[in-house]
């Protein structure tokens, strides 16, 4: 094993960030029958994939504060066919992770999973998007958690300064 020695007497060269050369992998763009654009990056022969669904449904689209973020967060909390526990168990069983995020202009659902399980997971993602019911008890828990989170955040100077 070769040890790497660090030269502490001479500073490393400074490289201008403008001269930084970034090469992205080529992507494939196609449009689904319903007009939705799809961008695919073949990252090689990995056994994992990431599927990100991006919706123009962020905070700037809401008529009342927090509706976009609450809706996005509560997508995993129940459909007409499954309760929150069953949904979470399903994703966990397949070793996958479904993340939700809400930004100013967009809202996203990001699925991380093994390629071989995509057929079992995408139908549940579709169900979350098309059949969520937003149960009252889940909404009450969300509200309580958000109030507690806000209370803690208001004690942090970085949060208060950002507001």
Summarize pLDDT for 65-107 with one digit per residue, the tens. Answer: 889 999 999 999 999 999 999 999 999 999 999 999 999 999 9
Residue bearing the bigger pLDDT, 144 or 1:
144
Residue 3 has pLDDT above 80, yes or no: no
pTM of the model: 0.73
- 53 with 109: CB under 8 angstroms? yes
The closest alpha carbon to 47, from 116, 121, 93, belongs to: 116
Summarize pLDDT for 4-52 with one digit per residue, the tens. Answer: 778 888 888 887 777 777 788 889 999 999 998 999 888 777 799 999 9
| Token couple for 140 | 């009450």
- List, in sequence order, the alpha helices (H) in the chain: 67-74, 84-93, 118-131, 136-153, 157-162
Mean of pLDDT values over 124-150? 94
For residue 111, what pLDDT is reported?
97
């Amino acid at each position: 094993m070769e040890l790497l020695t660090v030269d502490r007497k001479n500073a490393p060269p400074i490289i201008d960030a403008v001269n930084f050369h970034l090469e992205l992998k080529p992507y494939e763009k196609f449009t689904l029958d319903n007009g939705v654009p799809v961008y695919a990056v073949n990252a090689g022969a990995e056994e994992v994939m990431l599927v990100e669904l991006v919706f123009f449904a962020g905070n700037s689209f809401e008529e009342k504060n927090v509706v976009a973020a609450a809706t996005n967060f509560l997508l995993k909390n129940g459909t007409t066919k499954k309760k929150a526990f069953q949904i979470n168990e399903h994703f966990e069983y397949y070793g996958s992770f479904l993340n939700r995020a809400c930004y100013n202009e967009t809202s996203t659902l990001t699925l991380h999973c093994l390629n071989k399980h995509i057929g079992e997971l995408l139908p549940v993602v579709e169900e979350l998007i098309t059949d969520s019911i937003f149960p009252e008890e889940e909404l009450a828990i969300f509200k309580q958690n958000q109030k507690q989170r806000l209370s803690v955040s208001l004690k942090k100077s970085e949060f208060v300064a950002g507001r």
